[in-house]
Chains A and B, each alone.
Chain A
Amino acid sequence: MTNQEKLVKAFSEGLGIEPGMVKDELTYNTIPQWDSTAHMMLIGALEREFDVMLDTDEIIDMSSVAKAKSILTQHQISF
């Protein structure tokens, strides 16, 4: 699986949405599914898929798919 595919899988599982909805522009609190509960599930899914440990600020800052990519890039994961 490519990193992009892993990312889509984590978002789709974490937020409980169709993979097709996972676009760079998708942003926290703009769809009903991405609330604070789902955000925590999303973080868990991302940490599992990419085998990383995110810190407090990274978790709070992860407010869109694009932002998630840029944070994961800092963990040596390229897209």
Chain B
Amino acid sequence: MFFKRLSDFSTAPALIDDEGQYTYAQLQLWVEQWLQRLGRARQLILLQFANTKQDVAFYLACLQGGHVAILAEPENAAQISTLRERYQPNWLYADGQLLPAVQQCHTLAPSLRLLVSTSGSTGNAKQVALSDANLASNASAIAISLQIEQADTALSTLPFHYVYGLSVLNSHLHCGASVRLFNGSVTSADFWQILKQQPISSIAGVPFQYECLHRLRFLQRDYPSLRYMTQAGGKLNPDLVCAFANWARQHQKKFYVMYGQTEATARMSVNADPLAKPDSIGKAIAGGFFSLRDSEGNTIEASDQVGELIYEGDNVFCGYAHSVSELADCVPQQTLATGDLAKRDVQGDFYIVGRLSRFIKLFGKRINLADVESILAHNGFKAYALMGDDLLKLVCVGADKNKVTQCLHSELNIHPGYVKIKSREQIPLTSSGKPDYPCLQDWFNND
């Protein structure tokens, strides 16, 4: 497992930041200092994980020591207080400081290592339980699928408390490669300076970051050391997929379109030739397997038929942990029903065509449409949220569109430019009296 083998790469640089670079041996020394602090008994630790060397060292100490870390976004007070209340962690870690909290010993399942939040922004994010084997398997599968080399340096454009960002870190540590630590946004001057001045081999991003890079004229330049870019965390507009894939081809680089979920320790598939199939999520990563299931639960063998996408692999999580008592029994699950509707072409490449569960992804964050509706209802607006690729689509009944937009902006930080609202006087109902969403969706798209 990658986190136990840091010393194997002794003098190779593991982490690079504004001040300098730090070898794997140095990293292991920091890890051992934390291991002494934490002691032998397994601890439950709330870890505010920023993209810094000390936080990476602490994270690796949690893994090496067999402790369980609950990953949190630094300074996200609402998330931190919810997690503290729900899981009663023994320790609180933030920014190099470790503070004792609850003394009581918790029963922790033997293989449990991390709790990671489904990247939800509507307040009821679930916590995904990941084992040591989940992390190790995904790190090695990604390293194989993207052909990561020891000489590579990834720029950490995604936060490590977000599972896709964590997967970039883990897969590079697995190969003895380096990670250039960076906490900012791709719209910051620092990002462009690092890209121009330092030998960065790869960048990972969610659709919003690629939209920013495109707008910032990323494609008008070459970056000689850049070898490849990965995109996951939601569907990127196919025009932009082609723009980046074309640019990559012209400059002898690779652009990978990937698909993932927190429940699969991040990424599950890779499309290595998006120019040929810009809409496809490609094939399962090394060691993983996709299948499709119809509504009766039968496996679909034929091509071009839509069914629920099912994933099998060692990176499939150990279930959700809703409370501290559920940390006692985390059972590895081999199969993940993704909730996404997909089809397969004759070459075996997969395409996401819709979702069973009602959520959308904006800026790489999962937005539960039922939550959007209830938050709006709580603020006095009657609205129905519909599925969309890169927009939140709403049908409002007798509400002021501007006020609804303002409410979404202030309550959920959804920018008005990503909201499209249409008004109706009445909502069509199904025979059971529920809102007829397919009917509303058709009306919305064709009105």
Q: Kindly report which residue of chain A lies nearest to residue B189, judged by CB atoms.
A: A60
A55 pairs with B215, CB closer than 8 A: no
**In the complex, which residues of chain B have a beta carbon less than 8 angstroms from the beta carbon of A60?**
187-189, 192, 216
Q: Is A39 an interface residue (CB 8 A)?
A: yes
B405 pairs with A40, CB closer than 8 A: no
A56 to B212, CA, bound (A): 10
A1-44 residues at the B interface, CB under 8 angstroms: 13-14, 16, 32-33, 35-41, 43-44
Q: How far is the CB of A17 from chain B (nearest CB, A)?
A: 9
Given A56-B192, A59-B216: A41 in contact with B417 (beta carbons within 8 A): yes
Give the tally of cross-chain contacts (CB within 8 A): 45
A59 touches which of B215, B363, B413 (Cβ 8 Å): B215
Q: Kindly report which residue of chain B lies nearest to residue A59, judged by CB atoms.
A: B216
Q: How far is the CB of B194 from chain A (nearest CB, A)?
A: 13
**In the complex, which residues of chain B have a beta carbon less than 8 angstroms from the beta carbon of A44?**
215, 417
- Type the 1/0 row for B119-140, where 1 means its CB is closer than 8 Å to any CB of A: 0000000000000000000000
Q: How far is the CB of B76 from chain A (nearest CB, A)?
A: 14
> Chain B: how many interface residues by the 8 Å CB criterion?
21
Q: How far is the CB of A71 from chain B (nearest CB, A)?
A: 14
A36-79 residues at the B interface, CB under 8 angstroms: 36-41, 43-44, 55-57, 59-61
Given A16-B409, A60-B187: A37 in contact with B215 (beta carbons within 8 A): no
Q: Is B415 an interface residue (CB 8 A)?
A: yes
**In the complex, which residues of chain A have a beta carbon less than 8 angstroms from the beta carbon of B413?**
32, 35
Residue among B185, B189, B216, B413 with the highest chain A CB neighbour number at 10 A = B216
Q: How far is the CB of A21 from chain B (nearest CB, A)?
A: 13
Q: Kindly report which residue of chain A lies nearest to residue B409, judged by CB atoms.
A: A16
Q: Is B416 an interface residue (CB 8 A)?
A: yes
Q: Is B40 an interface residue (CB 8 A)?
A: no
- Between-chain CB contacts (< 8 Å), 15 pairs: A14-B417, A36-B186, A36-B187, A37-B208, A37-B363, A38-B415, A40-B215, A43-B215, A56-B192, A56-B217, A59-B187, A59-B215, A59-B216, A60-B188, A61-B189
- Chain A residues near B (Cβ < 8 Å): 13-14, 16, 32-33, 35-41, 43-44, 55-57, 59-61
Give 3 closest A-B pairs by Cβ, nearest first: A16-B416, A36-B185, A41-B417
